[in-house]
Amino acid sequence: MDKNLELKRQIFHLLLGIIIVALLYREVLNIKSLFFLLLAGFVLSLLSKKYRLFGINWFLKNFDREKETLPGYGALTYFLGSIIVLGLFEKEIALASIMVLALGDSFCHLGRFGKISNPFNKNKLLEGTIIGIVFGAFGAAFFAPWKAAFFGSLIAMGVEGLELVVFKRKIDDNLLIPVIAGLVINLF
């Protein structure tokens, strides 16, 4: 795994989430505009498989994993996860959930410097999960009470460490984290 690519991906992941949340909060974006952006991204993804698209190919070269079957898969699932939580929950809970994804999932990669294996997933380190929980809770606390933000982040990042599989396919973190965080925050 190219560590430089992963660092760039996580910075992009962090910034994308913060930008989405800021634009949703200021009502520049809404669920319909996010859905339009998702559709446009899907079309551009399919076109980029066949044609060199100015700007798009640069992004894919610099931020996409080579093994992805669909170019821009990560960004597409990020938008889809945001749309799902906006459709399921009230605005503040959705924004808090997206912040758990943006901060928690980005900062958990700092755990690669750790030494303690996650007891549920030997491919991940416990320090990363803890860092993700702390930063995810911090981000969610802008939109939800601290207790709800903490438990939403704790459970979402804990479940993320499990790498759940449905029909022999891993559930993408960009879908799993915000939905789990939203479900838990909604309980408070």
For range 49-56, the mean pLDDT = 84
Residue 184 has pLDDT above 80, yes or no: yes
Closest by CA position to 79, among listed 178, 187, 186: 178
Residue 100 has pLDDT above 70, yes or no: yes
Q: How many CB atoms lie within 10 A of CB 51?
A: 10
pLDDT score, position 63: 81
**Residue numbers of the domain that contains 10:** 3-186
pLDDT-derived band at 140, boundaries 50, 70, 90: very high
Q: Please count the structural domains in the chain.
A: 1
Q: Are 6 and 12 in contact (CB under 8 A)?
A: no
pTM of the model: 0.91
> Mean pLDDT lowest for which of 3-12, 75-84, 142-151?
3-12
Closest by CA position to 128, among listed 105, 142, 147, 111: 111
pLDDT-derived band at 79, boundaries 50, 70, 90: very high
Closest by CA position to 105, among listed 3, 36, 2, 6: 6
